Structure 1
Amino acid sequence: MTDPFNEAAASRKELIAEDDASGRIDAWLTAALGQEFSRNRVKALIEQGAVQLNGNILDSPNRKIKPGDTVVIDLPEPEDPQPKGENIPLDVLYEDKDLIVIAKPPGLVVHPGAGNWHGTLVNALIYHCGDTLSGIGGVKRPGIVHRLDKDTSGVMVVAKNDIAHRHLADQFADHGRTGPLERAYRAVVWGRPRTLAGTIDAALGRSGADRTKRTVKREDTDDAREAITHYTVLERYGEKPDASCLASLVECRLETGRTHQIRVHMAHIGNPLVGDQEYGAAFKTKANLLPEDAKRAVNKFHRQALHAYLLAFEHPTTGETMRFEAPIPADLQKVIDALKAM
């Protein structure tokens, strides 16, 4: 069909049947709308009286469509689902009336969103904390002042009231430049950075090829945002006489906090994270160079090898500097142990 939509309003779609239109109207609508609506969703809209055929409300999904028919769908305004508490175990490192610090496991999404309306950290926090969570972060992100990717593990702090939320959010916005905020990660990367310690200063922005990904951008690009990562090589695995190696354990400290920052920056200097399917997929075959035990461990590891092991910040009420560490999760530790044993 050619250009079937005429959206007079955001909640209305108008379609005109072409010369070859035939069959049940619910099947025709489903095909016309493509992946936007399932057949069950189309039937539900018809039963709700939200579909008109030639100016009359459609009363049945099995009516036949004819060439030239005009079909109008009035869509209900999208609702912003309010997360519900779910009994999901939390590894609580510290908690008081102002905040809670947890060790997030890999595989746990931080807040609800498209495709992840349930089973998130926010659902777990609502169940655990009840009505004490801050509302500043919005309905879907109560108390959240920073986040970790789904498959990144590590320490997170969550505010339990509005005052704590403001105070913590200001610290994260300052990136520790004038206060005690400190964030440090452990990452296993392919190869070895050119220098054993260094700073990656490369602006980041959305990728033109995939809007969910980030890429290094020129600083004069419209969406370029400053991004600075400091790294130190802690261990080298499979080191060769020329000082190169197959993989390294690296500590990364953030001076800024951009989406996917460490993952993009390490890939940018030629050392993507082991297991990173988005930014290190081209390096997947590097596992074939490893001894059998290490190769098996790496191939069984299906996430980016990144762990936020350290978080320090100023307590919003007492002013005390709080410092928390989380041990490396078992799945990542197995990879490190296998690489060490080479």
Structure 2
Amino acid sequence: MAKPSFFCFLRRPRFIFLLLIFAFLTSSALGRGQHVVTIPASIPFPSGLAWDATAQHFVVGSRLPPAAVSSVSDAGVSEVLISDPLLPSTSSVAALVVDDRRRRLLVALANPAALAAYDLRSPRPHRRLFLSPLPDPSAAPGGVTVDASTGAAFVTAGRVILKVDLDGTAALLSKSATYSADPSLAGLGGVAHVNHGYLLVVERGGAGRVFKVDEDDGATKEVLGKALATEAEGLAVRSDGGAVVARGGAGARWLRGEDAWGQAAVQDEAEVEEGRRAAAIVVREWRRAYVLVTPAVEGNESGEEKVSRIEEVEWKREGEGDMVWGFVLFGGGLVVFFYWRFQMRQLAANMNKKRA
């Protein structure tokens, strides 16, 4: 009897089944590819990045006066969200955050420094809820975040952190000597609220140090120093408790906190294309980090090389973990398959004995 050919073997159902399992698991392990959204030219000099989980789109501002904010879909389609004629003509957007629980958009403005809140339930362009001038109109905000439980907003401006309540009343939260008395500090940048009663704040530019700040009394501690950090712009917190930092021309950095963020360590790093910079960062769907990537040298944005983008950050450590889990699942699938095959053989043998 002739032996079955290799091609006959390929047509066997069990081989096809195994091949399908392997293709599915390895494709999952390798990931779905980097998600990149091109920002339309209708948004000049993008500044600030937020994610609206309810509306499922990004929110991007513009540093070009007068201040305006637009939504950007995953397909790169934009629509104006905020066009406020009552703002000063010199105002520009510095940072953004969405208070999803109350459906508010908080916009930190520069020239002069202020915090504005808009009702996302109102028709577009959305209605303004309040405009709160910051104490030092010349100190451009570096970041803004919100406590989801109370609705209180926190804004970094120069070397201070301000707390703004639901009515728009601003009060000084922190002017800690940890950073206010340090002549080398370039100013405070991105800020993120952590659900344990404190904030994480990064130094803007310079060494890019990271600070932990109590949201009630403003007590401050440096958790990542000059020896480990570099230039920083924005900050966001992942659902697993880690933090991600936009590092300008260096790209992005993933940090993990130790001892309730008593200190921080670098988990992973990701680079951006040469000639570009990571100007802001946001987390969507719990752990997926996206950076606002802009040209390192500002100029005419009409050329393709000058187009700004929103890019998903690809972490090497997560990619390696996906591969390991893919092969673990594949191995588990093989065990199940061969156990099933053994059971079917036993069943067939028992049926043959009964017939005999």
TM-score, normalising length: structure 1: 0.20
Q: Which structure has more strand as a fraction of its residues?
A: 2
TM-score, normalising length: structure 2: 0.19
